[in-house]
Structure 1
């Protein structure tokens, strides 16, 4: 199997350096790398070119149009039997391609996704964010999980598709805002075999601050409604959970301000959730600091997603302003 690894890039030269360094350590060597500079001001040409003696890497520059169309640009130029998409803020374990190659040989998948995890080098904030995005106590519990609710939808930070999928389904039709969800659903409708490769994990940095994480998750909430425009039936009950959680937080605050009797029950529920997240994170990360930050990150994840979801649900579903 010859793999084409596709990495869209926008003003993140240091990230691509770390990602390419991780790819030089792959135990499976039959692959190429395509880096698509999507109209960056701070480009990474020199950094990418410094790896040409270690990797089969090609560097392209195009006008800024978003990560979805940058990936399409790479699909058109890729030589591989199978295309693998990574976000630029990922680190790839040395045995990643070997795991994928062996898995596809035993159980063919036309498209796959893999989970993400926190690398030991990540900051406490990054580890807390990683926890919140994979925790069973947040919506992260349905990502990269064998027991996920409904169909499994690969996400573009760690996703692979066969050349046959590209030839039949084409590329991304949304360049931002839920483009990977729409693409995954479209692949499903064409009856391709899709699944999770549980051991094909990447170390995903995501955001370096809680404020950046809030902005990202607010965007994700809005993106879910963007996908609704293409697939109305894919708006499931589980997608409303962050909005319900957010309304519950506001109700708890108001009930405490006005000393409503129900405030006691709301406070008990809130404390129980905080303790569950804290001790679960503590058991996984072995750090009180990360456990505390995990509580903050989890609440930020749910409320930011919930607010973004409600904003565009009201505008695009209720008012029908597309």
Structure 2
């Protein structure tokens, strides 16, 4: 099978260099790479050209319109039987394409998603963020778990679709704010077979600071409401959990300020959650520093998502504003 690897890029030349280096090491060689420069001021043209003798690579440039429409731009120019989408801040294990090719040969999927993990070279903060985004105590492990609640929705940091899917479903109809979730739901609705390939993992750097992580997760919370506007039935009870968690945190803080009797119970619950996350991360990462940062990252992950979710729920669902 011939794969077209599609990578939208916006002002991240160093990231794309590291990603392309991992693609040169793939054990499966039957693929092309399309990098879409989405109106970047700090472009990666020189870096892309430096890989011309190592990869079958195309460098595409367009006006800035967001990652969803940048991927559409590449879909129209890709020649592969199967399109694979990566975020530019990913590192790809050398057996990734071989795993995907073998898996599709044994059990065909019209579209698939894969999990993400932290690479040993990541900073402690990046590893803590990776923990927060994959932990059963924050996301429920749904981003790369075959036992996830409801339908499995591939995410665009590690996602593949067949050419047939693109020809029938078209590309992304929104360019950001949950565009990959909307696309996954639409593919499902057309009767295509979608699933997780558990071994097709990528190493996802995500954000390099907790402040950047907060901004990203606040955006994700808003994105869930954006998806709701397209598919109201896809807003599940589980999506309200970060908002509930955020309200509980605020209530705990207020109860301590006013010395309410219930403050002691709130504090005990908070301590139990902190200890649970801390020791679970310590077991996984074997690092006290990462375990401590994992607690911070997990609270940021839940509260930032919860605040973004509540903001747009109030604005777009209750007040019915655009």
TM range (shorter): over 0.9
Name 1:135's counterpart in structure 2: 135
Q: Distance in 1 between matches of 2:202 and 2:119?
A: 9
Cα deviation for residue 142 of structure 1 reads 1.5
Where does 1:1-322 land on structure 2 (aligned, <5 Å)?
1-139=1-139, 141-322=141-322
Tell me if structure 2 keeps the 8 A contact 1:115–1:201. Answer: yes
Tell me if structure 2 keeps the 8 A contact 1:112–1:194. Answer: yes
SS in 1 for 2:141: helix
Q: Distance in 2 between matches of 1:85 and 1:197?
A: 14
Unaligned runs of 5+ in 2: none
Cα deviation for residue 197 of structure 1 reads 0.2
How big is the alpha-carbon RMSD for the aligned residues of Structure 1 and Structure 2?
A: 0.5
Q: Distance in 2 between matches of 1:143 and 1:251?
A: 29
Unaligned runs of 5+ in 1: none
Cα deviation for residue 109 of structure 1 reads 0.1
Tell me if structure 2 keeps the 8 A contact 1:133–1:140. Answer: no
SS in 1 for 2:154: coil
SS in 2 for 1:101: helix
Q: Distance in 1 between matches of 2:292 and 2:226?
A: 33
Q: Distance in 2 between matches of 1:53 and 1:142?
A: 39
SS in 1 for 2:302: helix
Tell me if structure 2 keeps the 8 A contact 1:132–1:140. Answer: no
SS in 2 for 1:139: coil
Q: Runs of 4+ in structure 1 displaced over 6 angstroms? A: none
